[in-house]
Structure 1
Amino acid sequence: MTRTQTTVFVLVAVIALVLGLTVNKVLNSKAQADPTKLLDAGIVLLPQGRDVPTLDLVDQNGKPFKTSQLKDKWSLLFFGYTFCPDICPATLAELRELKKMLPKEAVDNLRVVLVSVDPHRDTPEQLKKYLGYFDSSFTGLTGEEKTIEKLANGVSIPFIPADTNKPNYTVDHSGNLVIVGPDGRQRGFIRAPLNNQKLAAQLPELLMQKD
């Protein structure tokens, strides 16, 4: 091969590499969700994933549950409680309906979790009974109040612990949902109130991502 041929060969290889990278970038950009549409649907993604505090809780079946188990699927965490008079039943009902609007592949890659902010009354048995009214596939988590506070603060969804000495007390908490990716890290939030029509259009693309 002459020097000229070698130079031509190298140039062709470089051009092919540049074109390949450009096409790959374009394809990937098309595969990514439109940030404007995500925000319009109430989905706020963090620039970088955030570690979820490693804590020990208990699920609705009375089995130990570590926050490190929030992996392999996308999870939506809602901090609420079973004696909540309004926002909690409304949110869980909306999440039940949202699941029906999503394609099966997205649903199979989704975990909905109710984290109780009222562990004094929300025993595993109470959580299981309550979630059964909405969707028995939903996960319920409870535990020590301090542990739940650490989790809530760690994912920026703080709540105000109630005065449990008062009869029929209520707990002040946020209606936002926490998005946890298959890697077990917090990826963002879904702002309340939920807009199921817009979420159903934007969530599938996110839920189909494996990492």
Structure 2
Amino acid sequence: MQKLMIVLAAVIAAAIGVASYQLWPKAEPEALVYQPPRAPAPFQLQSTESPDAINNQALKGQWTLLFTGYTFCPDICPTTMSDLKNALPNLQQHTDTPVKVWMISVDPKRDSMERLKEYTGYFGDAFVGIRAEHPQLFPFVRDLGLMYSVPEEGEKNYLVNHSAAIILVNPDGNRIAIFNADHQAGEIPVVDMEQLKRDFAIIAG
């Protein structure tokens, strides 16, 4: 009789567990997730990883975090790069596929490939500098859902206005999510890295 009671208790516990799993909502990412994932428009860009021009194939076989920036950026860019460098070990724990970061320079006039390579190399091997002239760069950035604007010719120590959001591309080379920056009065607009880490674990899991 006691053995029967133990068996019944185990069956009931298992049934409750299944019911709880079905009724309890699964964790959902807070980021804007593209359903279905979207392939970027065809592109030809320069990369610090390759002496030759790269295209959409360069996004395949890895998770890629893309954001716009430039090496003369005084605040958003170095902050975002540092935050991503600190977050990468956590992100890599959730996937066997490499996780990389593409910093897309929105200042091709001042950002040579040599300068980009030195800048991104400071943050680690997972960081890649991407460059193109404006006729190729602007359509690529706009297609990602990002933006930038450069002051008119003539200014020397100019600043470039650009998006602070981060795009996540899956190993198939498709955009799967966008992490928007948190805009607070008097604060640098940056992406919440704790949210990004939580969402990546859900999306990549």
Aligned pair partner of 1:56 in 41, 44, 57: 44
Task: Please give the secondary structure, in 2, of the residue aligned with 1:131.
Answer: helix
**Which digits, 9 at most, give the CA deviation of each residue in 1:46-97, with x for residues without a partner?**
1222220111111125432113321111211011111111100000000001
Q: Which residue of 2 aligns with 1:151?
A: 140
Offset of 1:45 from its aligned partner?
A: 0.3
Instruction: Determine whether 1:139 maps to 2:128.
Output: yes
Instruction: Determine whether 1:123 maps to 2:120.
Output: no
Aligned pair partner of 2:179 in 190, 201, 204: 190
Q: Which residue of 2 aligns with 1:83?
A: 72
Instruction: Determine whether 1:45 maps to 2:33.
Output: yes
Query: Is this contact kept in 1: 2:92–2:99, CA < 8 A?
Result: no
Task: Please give the secondary structure, in 1, of the residue aligned with 2:103.
Answer: strand
The two structures have a TM-score, normalised by structure 1, of 0.75
AA matched with 1:202: D
Structure 2: gaps (5+ residues): 1-17, 182-189
Kindly report which structure 2 residues correspond to 1:100-111, keeping only aligned pairs within 5 A, or say none. Answer: 100-104=89-93, 106=95, 108-111=97-100
**Which digits, 9 at most, give the CA deviation of each residue in 1:119-173, with x for residues without a partner?**
1111110111111222232111101111110101111102113324211111100
Q: Which residue of 1 aligns with 2:155?
A: 166
Distance 2:193 2:46 in 1: 29
Distance 1:66 1:33 in 2: 36
Structure 1: gaps (5+ residues): 1-22
Task: Please give the secondary structure, in 2, of the residue aligned with 1:102.
Answer: helix
Identity over aligned pairs, percent = 28
Offset of 1:105 from its aligned partner?
A: 5.0
Distance 1:143 1:103 in 2: 29
C-alpha RMSD over aligned residues: 2.4
Query: Is this contact kept in 2: 1:110–1:207, CA < 8 A?
Result: no
AA matched with 1:34: A
Q: Which residue of 2 aligns with 1:6?
A: none
Distance 1:132 1:148 in 2: 22
Offset of 1:106 from its aligned partner?
A: 2.8
Shift in CA distance, 123/101, structure 1 to aligned 2, threshold 3 Å? same
Distance 1:76 1:52 in 2: 14
Q: Identify, as 1 or 2, the structure richer in helix.
A: 1
Q: Relative to structure 2, which stretch is displaced further, 177-186 or 120-129?
A: 177-186
Shift in CA distance, 182/101, structure 1 to aligned 2, threshold 3 Å? closer
Instruction: Determine whether 1:97 maps to 2:86.
Output: yes
Distance 2:68 2:95 in 1: 22
The two structures have a TM-score, normalised by structure 2, of 0.77
